[in-house]
Amino acid sequence: MSVIEKIKKSVTAATGLPFYYDTPQTLNVRLDTAEYPCAMLHILQSGTITDTNGILHERLTIEMLFADQSRLDFDGEQVEAYELNALKRLAFKWVLHLYRSRALRLVSINGTNRYYATDDAIYSAFGVQVTIDEAEGVSPCDL
């Protein structure tokens, strides 16, 4: 199972949300037909390979966005109080699920972002940036 599939499985298990992943350049096209609320994976940097006693693990730094549609004429306080707090709870459920995961290991939580609806985007999102490792790696015996 690929790292992306493991991430998708963890998000689905923790939140039950539809999961979307694409390149940063084309993710917005996919979002035009997305089912909301949803989770969107954005890889922030190229992955690395870590070596633990001769076993290789893939490490990724990602931002997982938990998004929902917003009204374009929103009242900022309502978006903050209702939409973003609900999305933040979904993000926290996923992070807590990562702590118990057998497929992925949470290396660090690197920060959060709040995205608000704008004239050219009709969704708001709560993003959490994390670095994760695969729990199972590849040993020389696997090759």
CATH code of the domain in which 81 resides: 3.30.2000
Q: How many domains does the chain have?
A: 1
Span between the terminal Cα atoms of the chain, in Å: 16
pLDDT at 79: 61
Position 71 confidence tier, pLDDT thresholds 50, 70, 90: low
Question: DSSP label at 135?
Answer: S
Taking a C-beta distance cutoff of 8 angstroms, is the pair 18, 40 a contact? no
pTM of the predicted structure, to 2 decimals:
0.86
pLDDT band at residue 33, thresholds of 50, 70 and 90?
Answer: confident
pLDDT band at 96 (very low <50, low <70, confident <90, very high): very high
Peptide bond into 18 cis (omega under 30): no
Range of the domain at 59: 3-142
Question: How big is the CA angle at 116 (ends 114 and 117), to the nearest 5 degrees?
Answer: 155
Vertex 73 angle, CA 71 and 77, to 5°: 85
Report helix, strand or coil for 141: helix
Q: Among 32-41, 48-57, 71-80, 120-129, whose mean pLDDT is lowest?
A: 71-80
Mean pLDDT across 34-63? 86
Indicate whether 119 pLDDT > 70. no
